[in-house]
Structure 1
Amino acid sequence: MAPPPAHREPSEEARGAGRFGVEDKVALVTGGSRGIGKMIARGLVAGGAKVYIASRRGCEETAAELSDEGVCLPLSADLSEEAGICAIGEQLRAAEPTLHVLVHAAGAHHVAP
């Protein structure tokens, strides 16, 4: 009986790095300070992207935490308000010529009377 094949690492193509890699890309993750947004931001940072996280609160702390793994920068704004959305756009436009990845993970809960 033949020995089992030796273990080998998957190729970049098999991992999707060649086609879908984020290395050297600029990403914005709304709601990136916690929950699913934070997990996605962490993955993008680990993949080599320059990641901006936007949220009402906690983005400075999360950006500092994720910066241990790569480049992560905070953009503090309330995205439930039009002014907050415009502020994020203006800040990002001033800092980066191109945005490659946008992940909208911010959520808001409004209670109606």
Structure 2
Amino acid sequence: MTPETLFSLHGKTALVTGGATGIGRMAAEALVCAGARVLIASRKGEACEAVAAELNAMGAPGTAEGFAGDVGSKEGIDTLVAEVKSRTETLDILMNNSGVTWGAPLGQFPHEAWEKVMSVNVAGVFDLTQKLLPMLMKSGTIDDPARVVNVGSVMGEVPMGDGAYSYAASKAAVIHLTKIMAKELSPYAVTVNALAPGPFVSRMTAFATADEEKRAKVGSDVPLRRVGRDEDIAGCMLFLCGRGGSYVTGAVIPVSGGINVMSGRNIFEKAL
């Protein structure tokens, strides 16, 4: 047994939604480097095409293709599924990464912030997976299941609003949905797992991670004293999608630098 046999994705086809930036971009690069054919989709098709060109220029064993895809509506999902089917007959890996957020203080948080966020972050994850399930089932076997990786958030694990109430609630829903789907899809040779990231550099977190000074300040509040790096996502994806992760389903990997286990002070601290 070698690292190659454990983590190689040669011959696999993957779809990464929201793959043009942030965590999706990190994951797409990891999959390409492991030998997969990676379909990258987001609302901004030109950005996906540009990222695919960058990944193909690396000379990695895998390849990338970029195109537009919107998971925020039934029509958008149907169009995305049709595009995927036009490019491949089977699908080995689905990464549900597309997501949106909305921030406002308690007392000013608008009603419309719920419908939009839940539609993309929860309904989009479920509906896209449901409609791609026949392709995943076609490729999955007992020895080598198809893989679904959902992107949750540490904010879905711990009671942390930070003004993003609908986002945090949506990610808690993603984590619970991951476990439900893992239970129901295991008989069909499809594993379903989730990442629960903490702070990473992305378009969504640009307000807090856009430069080194901001990243240092954010990292100082993380137990492991830094924000996430590309390789943190890459390592998780290669484990979950490679042979080494074929016996894991329903797991939520806390890629959050320890935020997931942060708690209050020891209740006897002052006495001690």
Report the TM-score range of the alignment, normalised by the length of the smaller protein: 0.7 to 0.9
Identity %: 36
Residue 69 of structure 2 corresponds to residue 77 of structure 1: yes
- Taking the aligned partners of 2:73 and 2:24, their CA distance within structure 1 comes to 19
- Residue 53 of structure 1 corresponds to 40
The DSSP-based 3-state class of the residue aligned with 2:31 is: helix
Q: Is contact 2:15–2:93 with CA below 8 Å preserved after alignment? A: yes
- Residue 8 of structure 2 corresponds to 21
Structure 2 residue runs without a partner (length 5+): 103-109, 113-272
Amino acid aligned to 1:61: A
Aligned-pair CA distance for 1:107: 0.3
Q: Which moved more, 1:39-48 or 1:77-86?
A: 77-86
- Of residues 80, 87, 107, the one that matches 2:99 is 107
- Taking the aligned partners of 1:84 and 1:109, their CA distance within structure 2 comes to 19
Residue 91 of structure 2 corresponds to residue 92 of structure 1: no
Aligned-pair CA distance for 1:53: 0.5
Amino acid aligned to 1:108: V
The DSSP-based 3-state class of the residue aligned with 1:42 is: helix
Which one has more relative contact order, counting CA pairs under 8 Å at least 6 apart? 1
- Taking the aligned partners of 2:23 and 2:29, their CA distance within structure 1 comes to 10
- Residue 54 of structure 2 corresponds to 65
Amino acid aligned to 1:112: H
Q: Is contact 2:17–2:95 with CA below 8 Å preserved after alignment? A: yes
- Taking the aligned partners of 1:94 and 1:30, their CA distance within structure 2 comes to 17
The DSSP-based 3-state class of the residue aligned with 2:41 is: strand
Aligned-pair CA distance for 1:14: 4.1
Q: Is contact 2:42–2:48 with CA below 8 Å preserved after alignment? A: yes
Aligned-pair CA distance for 1:68: 1.2
Residue 22 of structure 2 corresponds to residue 35 of structure 1: yes
Offset from partner CA, 1:24-76 (integer Å, 9 cap, x none): 11000011000000000000001110000010112111111111134100120
Q: Is contact 1:26–1:49 with CA below 8 Å preserved after alignment? A: yes
Aligned-pair CA distance for 1:79: 1.6
Amino acid aligned to 1:55: S
Normalized against structure 2, the TM-score is what?
A: 0.35
Number of positions where the alignment pairs a residue of Structure 1 with one of Structure 2: 100
The DSSP-based 3-state class of the residue aligned with 2:70 is: coil
More strand per residue: 1 or 2?
1
